[in-house]
Chain A
Amino acid sequence: MQNVLKHLSSKDKRGPWVAFVVLAIVLLALPFFTDALFGRGWVRIVDFALLYIMLALGLNIVVGYAGLLDLGYIAFFAVGAYCYALLGSPQLGLHLSFWIVLPLGALLACIFGVLLGAPTLRLRGDYLAIVTLGFGEIIRIFLNNLNAPINITNGPQGISMIDPIHFGEFSLGSAHELFGLTFPSVHLHYYLFLLFTLLVVFISLRLEDSRIGRAWMAIREDEVAAEAMGINTRNIKLLAFAMGATFGGLAGGLFAGFQGFVSPESFSLTESITVLCMVVLGGMGNINGVLLGGILLVVLPEALRHGSGPAQQLLFGKTLIDPESLRMLLFGLALITVMLWRPAGLWPSNQRRRELVAENDSAHL
């Protein structure tokens, strides 16, 4: 896995093509392997992992690059999800095309990002964290209560029967026969999410190594010095919020289409914290780290859920503690251990590849 991820970061075009081909085959075959080895439920978990990775990469722009601690990031996910849900379900009787709804959700989230960013620009560190936390809660509470006097969001019951993701007649909601293979719905979603995740990874990589990316990192490192170097910190920070929120909105739309149901309870503070954990645990500001963090934080709790029962049977001959309660305990322990063992994250960013690249190769042409 390490080699595979490492390759994602490799920008050397003459690099090992073999690794690239292997990676491509593994990624393409993953849902079938998972299905065969662990069952269909795990393909669904992999799909969710991809959604979370998109979220984590979005948050990584805000927290990892620009150094702005955002505890209400899930709000943008909610905006994207509800936008999709409202425009593609019987709730308002609208059934717009996927290609309209998804970009609209991302755009709306982007606008919300700017709305959140604008009043909070003067705040730093802890203060910003508190305000963004409040923002996240406001969005959730709004969604929870916008069922009266006019019913828009259907309140705590949420919106159900959301249209599956569809391209014209081709709906991802049901299985399809392609190239002589049967692709169940979860597999199709996997490929779509993979495509979007790769897009988000690509955008993140490009941004990281650009004038804008450097300005974000300069603000993270020392805002006063960045401003003294002529960086308009207000605009650049707003840009970070907007970009991060766009990715959140994108993931939100995909989530709504995949799940077929959204309710305010999917967008609680815990979710914001989970995404933040992925970024911090993996390694802030490092795309590889964030990918790793995203995968671990989705897969680990599930593995503990399915694994801790049989493990207890094996060790003690009976189930002493309910696996459902045990898994979060073990998960918390794992987090603490990792943070003690590697405070900068599993894959920290300051050993960046650029330092390892020979001087001549780093000329950007």
Chain B
Amino acid sequence: MTISTEFDVNLLELSGVAKRFGGLSALSDISLHIRRGEIYGLIGPNGAGKTTLFNILTGLYQADSGRFTFNNTEYSGRCKPHVLAQAGIARTFQNIRLFANMTALENVMVGRHMRTSSGIWGALTRTATARAEEHAIVQHARTLLSYVGIDRPHHTLAKNLSYGEQRRLEIARALATDPKLLALDEPAAGMNATETESLKELLLSIRASGITVLLIEHDVKFILGLCDRVAVLDYGKKIAEDVPEKIRCNPVVITAYLGTESIIPAQAGIQS
């Protein structure tokens, strides 16, 4: 896929999306668009509504109002997570949700589920077609595991992987679904500097392969150094959306993160 020609086309568009939990307004009037092939960051203080927005995009929650268009199709109504996954939105979770008692390889193989088709009959008879498909699944999964850099034996149980590997495995599993948009919920959380750096390289390489990346992150330095554009949420509202350089010195953003004053040292700390 040539990115440059499609760069101006929007992959995802939200307009006026709102979500309430009882009396609490988690999101109000969120409008944003994500272009094909970009790395789009979503930042904001704790409780700003980032994960809520993520859950709406992936069908775990239903928006109360607003329009949600992905890849030229509207998904504003009640949409099941698997339908959105089918459409091409794959995600990872903030608190890692791997299939803990399955092997690393099997975790990624599960990601191939919806792009393959053999059913009960294929499983029982193991026809040539079914075997070929199974073989393709295994090969694809292996490729993805080494792509994200898991060099442990592939039959290690997911729960026995290190923390960083588990994060990477989640990415591999999401990539196995052939996504158009890869949505990552705090992928760098709890990682050390080296791990964060290699994660950054991985994300750049994923983008280079033509997949659009949406990123929630707490690590402002990480996100500002990586993203093409960044949106900032605060109390369920979008307070800014711009290229990282502009976000970095946006007074509204700085106020949201740090309160008022002390702008200069904060800026120095943010520099990457």
Contacts and interface: CB of A to CB of B under 8 A. Distances in A.
A231 interface: yes
A355 B103 contact: yes
A230 B156 CA distance: 24
Contact of A239 (B90, B99, B109, B120): B120
Contacts of B135: 363-365
A71 B120 CA distance: 25
Nearest to A354: B155
Contact of B80 (A217, A227, A357, A363): A227
B58 to A, nearest CB: 6
Interface residues of A, number: 35
A350 B86 CA distance: 30
B157 A355 contact: yes
A214 B113 contact: yes
What class of interface size applies to chain B in its complex with A?
A: 35 or more
Nearest to B106: A214
B82 A212 contact: no
B113 A206 contact: no
Chain A interface secondary structure, helix, strand, loop or mixed? helix
A206 B124 contact: yes
Interface string A337-365: 00000000000011000110101001111
Interface string A218-239: 1001101111111111000001
B80 A221 contact: no
Contact of A211 (B86, B113, B176): B113
B99 A221 contact: yes
Interface string B102-123: 1100100111111110111011
Interface string A144-156: 0000000000000
B99 A225 contact: yes
Contacts of A239: 120
A252 to B, nearest CB: 21
Interface of A: 203, 206-207, 210-215, 217-218, 221-222, 224-233, 239, 243, 349-350, 354-355, 357, 359, 362-365
12 contacts: A206-B124, A214-B109, A221-B98, A228-B91, A229-B110, A230-B114, A231-B113, A357-B155, A359-B154, A363-B135, A364-B135, A365-B135
Identify the 3 closest CB pairs spanning chains A and B, nearest first. Answer: A230-B114, A210-B123, A230-B85
